A and B are shown apart, each in its own frame.
Chain A
C-alpha cells in the first residue's frame, strides 16, 4: 500500500514538471499561441452557428429542439477539449512509431503510455474548453435546465467517461501503426466522424448505424445517451441517473482495452535504427 502510494506521488510529481515544461514550450512561439486562441474558438463558434442555421432551415432534428441541441453540442465540445488536452498525442502515434521516438520512453522507469501522453500534454486544449463551456451554459439556459447538485455530479461523471471513450478511440487508432508500420494522420478524419456523431443525436441515423455506435464503437455514449438522459429524452437504451455511470464504465472499459491493444503493439515495436 505504502509503495503504491509512493509510486502515485512520483507520477504526480512528474506530471507537475511536465505541465511546467509544456507551458515553457508554448511560450516559445508567440504567434502560435495567438493562432490557437483564434483557431479553436473559431472552429466551435462556426460549428455552433451551423447547427443554428440547420435548425432554422429544417426545423427540429429528430425531435430535438435548438436549445437541446446546444446542450448536446456544448457537452460534446467539452469532452472533446478534455480529450485534446490529455490524449491528442494518440493522433500522432504513427509518427512516433516510424521515427523510433518510443526508444526514449522505453528506457525510462515510467509507464510508456503515461509518458507518451503526459510529456507532451497539450495545454492548448483549454482553447477548446472555453467555447465548449460557453455553449453548454447557453444550452442549459435555452433548454430550461435547472442545474441541481445532483445534475452537476452527473455531468462531471459523464464527462470523465466521455473523455476516456474518446481517448480510448484515439489510442486504438494510433496503435494500429505498430502493426502497419505507417503513419497516417487520422486525426482530422476521426474529428470529422466524431463531429457528425456526437454533436447531433444519433437517433437520426439508421438502426444498423446506431447499433454500431452503441455496442461496437461506443461513440453514442460520448454524448447522445448521457445527454438524452440528462434532458429526459427517450433514447430507447438507458435513462435516469444510471446513464452517467454506464458512460463512465464504458469509458474505463475502452481505456483498458485500448491500453491492452497498445501494449500488444508495443511488443512488436522495433526502433527506426537511429
Chain B
C-alpha cells in the first residue's frame, strides 16, 4: 500500500510541474461550459419543461457535468499504449508493484491534483457566471457521492479494458478514440439521453455508459424519484461487478504473454 501511496504522491508533484497547463485547461473548460449553458438556454427559450427538466436544472446539469468530467479523466489507456508501443512495458512489469495497481495509483494522483487545479475553479466560475449549482435535495447527497465513486470506477475499468487491447494490437490510439466517443456521446455528458427517443434511451440504459455521467447528475438535479435512482444504482453496481470480472479475466490473459518491442 505504501508503495502505491508513493506513486500517488509522485504523480501529484508531476501534475503540478506545468503551471500553464492548469490555466489553459481552466480557460478551455470554462469556454466549453459557458457555451453549453448558452446552448441549452437558447434551446429552452420559450419552452418550460422539456424531458421532465426545466432550463434551470439543465444549467445545473451542465456545471456539475463539467466538474465531474475532471474526475473522469483517465490516463491508463494512453499509459498502456505508450508502454507497449515503446517496449517499456518490460521494465514496468519487473517493478515490485502490480502493473495496473501502478496505473491506478497514477490516475488517482492526477485526479487529486486536478480536483484543486480544475474542479474547484470550474465550480467557482460556473457559480459566478452561470448560476450556483444547488443540489435539488440535499438528502440525496450520500447517494450522489456513492454513485460518483462507482461511476469513477466504471469509467476507469472501461479505459483499462480499452487500454489492454494494446497488448494485442500494439497501437491502440484509434481504440482510445472509439472509447472516447462512446462515453462522450452515450453517457449523457453532453446531451442527456432523456431527450433521445424512447427506444434508443431504453437500449442505452442497459449499457454501462449512462451510469458514468447521467445517473449521478440525475440524482444531483433531482430528476426522477429516489426509488428510481436506487434501482438505477443497482444496475450501476451490477455493471461495476461485470466490468471488474471482465477486467480480471482479460488482465490474466494478456499479461501472460507480452510482446516487447525493442525494449
Contact across chains for A205 and B38 when beta carbons are under 8 A apart: yes
Contact across chains for B191 and A50 when beta carbons are under 8 A apart: yes
- Is A13 among interface residues, defined by CB-CB distance under 8 A? no
Contact across chains for A35 and B185 when beta carbons are under 8 A apart: no
Answer whether A32 and B169 are a contact pair too, CB < 8 Å, given A58-B47, A204-B42: yes
Q: Which residues in B have their C-beta under 8 angstroms from that of A204?
A: 38-39, 42-43
Q: Which residues in B have their C-beta under 8 angstroms from that of A200?
A: 39
Contact across chains for B24 and A184 when beta carbons are under 8 A apart: yes
Contact across chains for B50 and A58 when beta carbons are under 8 A apart: yes
Give B1-52 interface residues, CB cut-off 8 Å to A.
18-21, 24-25, 28-29, 31-32, 35-36, 38-39, 42-44, 47, 50-51
CA distance A46 to B196 in the complex (A): 11
Answer whether A35 and B175 are a contact pair too, CB < 8 Å, given A57-B195, A182-B20, A197-B35: yes
CA distance A256 to B197 in the complex (A): 46
Give A27-50 interface residues, CB cut-off 8 Å to B.
28-29, 31-36, 38-40, 42-43, 46-47, 49-50
Interface string of B33-74 (1 = CB under 8 A from A): 001101100111001001100000000000000000000000
Contact across chains for A50 and B185 when beta carbons are under 8 A apart: yes
Interface string of B191-235 (1 = CB under 8 A from A): 100011100100000000000000000000000000000000000
Interface of B is mostly: helix
Chain B nearest CB: distance from A9 CB in Å? 34
- Is A192 among interface residues, defined by CB-CB distance under 8 A? yes
Contact across chains for B178 and A42 when beta carbons are under 8 A apart: yes
- Interface size of B by Cβ–Cβ distance < 8 Å? 42
CA distance A124 to B173 in the complex (A): 12
Q: Which residues in A have their C-beta under 8 angstroms from that of B173?
A: 32, 35
Of B19, B50, B168, B177, which is within 8 A of A35 by CB?
A: B177
- Which single residue of chain A is at the shortest CB-CB distance from B35? A196
Chain A nearest CB: distance from B136 CB in Å? 21
- Which single residue of chain A is at the shortest CB-CB distance from B173? A32
- Which single residue of chain B is at the shortest CB-CB distance from A37? B174
Q: Which residues of B approach A to under 8 Å, CB–CB?
A: 18-21, 24-25, 28-29, 31-32, 35-36, 38-39, 42-44, 47, 50-51, 165, 168-175, 177-178, 180-182, 185-186, 190-191, 195-197, 200
CB<8 Å pairs between A and B, sample of 12: A31-B170, A31-B171, A32-B169, A32-B173, A43-B185, A46-B181, A50-B191, A53-B191, A184-B25, A189-B25, A189-B31, A204-B42
